[in-house]
Every structure is written in C-alpha cells, then in structure tokens.
Amino acid sequence: MKLVFSALLVLTAFAAALSQTPETPPPGSPATSAADGSTSSILPDLDQLQSVASQTAQDLGKLHIEKWKANSTAKNAAQADAESVQRNLTSALPGMIAAARATPDDLNAQFKLYRNLNALYDVFGEVADATRVYGQKGQYDTLSQQLQEIGSLRRKLGESLEQSTASAQRELNQMRVQIKDQQEQLAAAQAATAEARRELLLAQTAPPPKPPPKKKPVAKKPAAAGSPNVNPSNSNSSGQTGGTTSPPKG
C-alpha cells in the first residue's frame, strides 16, 4: 500500500505541473519577440522617418498653392491633398511612430504605421506631381527627395514586417506542437493517477487476507504395556520347560 500511495503522489504532482499554464509566454514566443531581434532594427528608421515628416510638413506650408498658374479645380485638389498630408505628418504619424518606438516587438503597432505610410505616400505623390507641373522647380526637387525617403522607409518597414510575421508563424507552430505534446502527457498522467487512486481505494477497502489454517499435529499411538509378545507355539521348541515329561510307555 505504501508503494501505491507514493506512486499516486508522484503522478498527481506531475499532472498538476503539466496542467499549469504559464501566465507569461516564454522568451522567444510571438508575444515577446516577433523576429529574432529584427524588429529592433527599425528604431533608427523610425527616427529618420520622424525627421523627414517634420521637415516635409514645413516645406508643404511654403508651396503657396493659391499662387500657382493653374485652374481653380487643379489648385483646389492640390490644396486639399497638401492639407491632408500636413495633418497626417503633424498629427497621426507622430503618434504611430511613438507607439512603434515604445513597443518595437508589437506587430500591430508596426502594421498601423505601415498602412498609414502607404496612404500617405500615395497622396504625397499627388502633391509632388502637381508641384512639378505648377510649382517651382526647387520646391518639386525638395518634395521629390522627401517622397523618395518616405518610400524607402516604407519599404524597409514592410520587409521587417514580412520577416517578423514569418518568424512569429514558425514560433506559433512550435508552440502548438509543444502544447499538443503537453496535453498528451497530461492525459496519460491523469489516466495513471486515476488508476493509482483506484488501486489505492481497493487496497483500503479490501478485507485483510485470512491466515492459512494451522495443521493439527498427528498424535502417536502409545506402545502396549506388559511383557514382550512371545509366541506360545515356540515355547517347547528348545526342549527347556519348567515341568517333566513322562517317558513313553513300552
């Protein structure tokens, strides 16, 4: 019974350890590291993007689109696009850059920034094209250079996201395999624990075995008392008797 009880304790502890889910994911999981340190490489790009965005917002304010030699439709469209780009550069983009910088391993923050850069790049490209047609050449050269920098940073961020997503998917697949193995081990441990408990319960409730019956000793018969047994037919064989014999008659 002691052996069964000890085995039950060991199996119960093993099952409890397997059933515990860690509160924080282990190092290297998708929640803590998206791509083996590749996400940390975007931090210098974020600083460069912030600098370009600040300078671009200032240069857009110097276009004076209202003085362009263009029809009102073209000028209104260019003005609306320039104001939209300025609002993005001064309001939306800084917050997204700050979020991505604060949590460089957060793929969600990077996706938001990347999606915003795509929209910003398209609208900013329209403004740059309008400046090439109606604005001053020096202004267009400046905006064109800034557009190229934003496009390059957008491409780097997209490549980083692709690598991070692939790495996160690999780690997620590994975690799924590990979880499946742990579940199988837990099921086996629980089954063994249940069997050990059943055996322990049977050992506790079963009546004690009856001792084997003792064999009664066989009593020896006592020997007969008196003189030794003498055969009467042999009493005269020796011719020595206590009496006399009468001679035969002649």
Going from N- to C-terminal start, the domains of the chain cover 42-164
CA atoms within 13 A on the CB side of 112: 15
Tell me which amino acid residue 222 is: P
* 180-209 burial: b if 16+ Cβ within 10 Å, else e: eeeeeebeebbebbeebeebeeeeeeeeee
pTM value?
0.59
pLDDT in tens, 158-192: 998 998 888 888 888 888 888 988 888 888 888 88
Count CB neighbours of 162 within 10 A. 12
- Split at pLDDT 50, 70, 90, the class of 36 is very low
Instruction: Identify the residue whose tokens are 């490549």.
Output: 159
In this structure, CATH architecture of domain 42-164: Up-down Bundle (1.20)
For residue 71, is pLDDT > 90? Answer: yes
Q: Residue 143 has what pLDDT?
A: 97
Give the per-residue pLDDT at 210. Answer: 73
**3-class DSSP string for the chain:** CHHHHHHHHHHHHHHHHHHCCCCCCCCCCCCCCCCCCCHHHHHHHHHHHHHHHHHHHHHHCCCCHHHCCCCHHHHHHHHHHHHHHHHHHHHHHHHHHHHHHHCCCCHHHHHHHHHHHHHHHHHHHHHHHHHHHHCCHHHHHHHHHHHHHHHHHHHHHHHHHHHHHHHHHHHHHHHHHHHHHHHHHHHHHHHHHHHHHHHHHHHHHCCCCCCCCCCCCCCCCCCCCCCCCCCHHHCCCCCCCCCCCCCCCC
